[in-house]
Amino acid sequence: MGKFFSPTRYSKRKRKKVSRYLRRLLLVMLVGILALGGCRAIFQRTEQAKVTHVTLWQGVNPPPNRDVLQKLVDKFNQTHPNIHVESLYVGQQDQQTPKILAAVVGNAPPDLLWYNPTIGGQLVELGALLPLDTMLANSPIKDEIDPTLYSSMQYNGKIWSVPFATNNVGVFYRPSLFKAAGINKLPSTWEEFRQVAKQLTRDTNGDGQTDQYGMFLPLGKGEFTVFTWLPFMWSGGGELVKENSQNAAAVNLIGNQGAIAALQFWRNLITDGSAMLSGPERGYEPEAFLSGKVAMQLIGPWTLGEFQATGVDFGVFPIPVAQRPATVIGGENLFLFKTTPQRQKAAFQFAEYTLSEEFQTELALGTGYMPVNLKARQSAKYQEFVQKIPALKVFLEQAKYGRSRPIFPGYNRISDSVGRAVESVLLGKNSPDDALKATQQRLDLIFK
């Protein structure tokens, strides 16, 4: 029996059989794991392929306002899993322009651009923009847009952008500095303003040097200078272009009495010694105002969030009047570039979101911008916010006198030339009349 049956040999055969079985089992499991991992990777790639990536270029300022925007972008991305919007800060608008034009010429534009409406005509001329008439006509959000903003959206009978947020320019002032100077009445005319600026200009420590200026004026030929100067030209009875003209050649500055008066008024503040000039191509930062170095500054409601955070006292009054009340409509629009049908559709979905009551209300509460959505503006939440910040009422009431800058092609050159005129007058290089004549000659060479 021992010859035919050996427990040792039997045990070895059994162990070999079990070992082969285990190796096969492990091999099957390994293949399964690899297959499952491969399926998961394929699934993830497929899911990623379903996500449409959209890029937004913006120059939102000050930084706290960018934080508000980013939170709203994140909210959109969370509620739209098939779309991912990447918001990129690409500098202030004067810095953005060459980047935008280079991207368009290089056929690599962003999907969405946050920019003031004046660039619209130039981008239309380059064939870069997606017309929005049909998409907006089919959107329920269209009827909620403030109708006064359509002038900033249209060129040559078509809609090329949608409003992102709106504002206008007023005069911020420090009530505590007014009180210290014995001023009890806010100025409403140019002459009253000039007198108040003189009273607010003081040597507070007796060292013979001016420590506090009445007014802060922007220096430079950039758009912010022109943006804040235009209301004075309009208030003085002047016009930059003929009414309803969409032609850059329609600019006429020679003998423009409103423009001459506005330039002379700003120059008077300098010769009086009551105005402090900003650094070159600046004027929008509020540091000098917040520190008490200046008592008044031309700026808009986009700074309200920042001002509230500092705890500094401040108030706002309308731009003083020469012949008629005036302010300039500010704010930025969203432009959609020609890319691919899928990305264009996703970009418009984001644009609709920015126009919504929810987005506009949250943006307004976080930044001070005025909502472009009528429902948001009339909502109990926003009205409660306005009651807490009286300065907002000034901008809302002043809006009826607001005027938009031209959006036809070539406005950037007009703005640059007008900015040069303002700069030369503020620096005392030219009289208002001579500066405007030189500007007109330059524009005639460009456009005629």
The DSSP annotation for 380-414 comes to: HHHHHHHHH-HHHHHHHHHGGGEEPPP-STTHHHH
| Domain spans of the chain, in order of start | 52-166+331-396, 170-329+405-447
Q: Minimum mean pLDDT among 41-50, 233-242, 310-319: which range?
A: 41-50
Confidence (pLDDT) at 26 = 52
Confidence (pLDDT) at 68 = 95
Q: Which of 186-195, 303-312, 362-371 has the highest mean pLDDT?
A: 186-195
pLDDT at position 43 over 70: no
Instruction: Provide the phi-psi class of 89: left if phi over 0, else alpha when psi is between -120 and 50, else beta.
Output: beta
- For 170-329+405-447, CATH gives 3.40.190.10
Task: Name residue 443's amino acid.
Answer: L
β partners of residue 212 = 202
More confident residue, 17 or 386: 386
Helix (H) or strand (E) holding 230: helix 223-235
The C-alpha atoms of residue 172 and residue 191 are separated, in whole angstroms, by 18
The C-alpha atoms of residue 429 and residue 420 are separated, in whole angstroms, by 11
The C-alpha atoms of residue 219 and residue 265 are separated, in whole angstroms, by 15
pLDDT at position 12 over 60: no
Model confidence, pTM: 0.79
The C-alpha atoms of residue 395 and residue 316 are separated, in whole angstroms, by 8
Confidence (pLDDT) at 344 = 97
Q: Going edge to edge, which strands form the sheet with 215-219?
A: 275-280, 215-219, 296-299, 170-173, 315-317
Confidence (pLDDT) at 25 = 52
User: Angle at CA 43, nearest 5°, toward 41 and 47?
Assistant: 115
pLDDT band per the 50, 70, 90 thresholds, residue 368: confident
Give CA 225 to chain center in angstroms: 16
pLDDT band per the 50, 70, 90 thresholds, residue 17: low
pLDDT band per the 50, 70, 90 thresholds, residue 254: confident
Tell me the two tokens of residue 225: 């200078």
pLDDT band per the 50, 70, 90 thresholds, residue 1: very low
pLDDT at position 407 over 90: no
The C-alpha atoms of residue 101 and residue 110 are separated, in whole angstroms, by 11
Residues 52-166+331-396, CATH architecture: 3-Layer(aba) Sandwich (3.40)
Task: Name the residue among 421, 270, 300, 284 with its Cα closest to residue 368.
Answer: 300
- Contact yes or no for 56/73 (Cβ under 8 A): yes
Length of the chain: 448
More confident residue, 427 or 250: 427
The C-alpha atoms of residue 350 and residue 53 are separated, in whole angstroms, by 11
Confidence (pLDDT) at 67 = 95
pLDDT band per the 50, 70, 90 thresholds, residue 47: very low
pLDDT at position 13 over 80: no
pLDDT at position 131 over 60: yes
pLDDT at position 34 over 90: no
pLDDT band per the 50, 70, 90 thresholds, residue 245: low
**Quick one: angle between helices 257-271 and 411-426, nearest 10?**
40
Tell me the two tokens of residue 318: 């309308």
pLDDT at position 127 over 60: yes
pLDDT at position 9 over 60: no
pLDDT (mean) for 417-427: 96
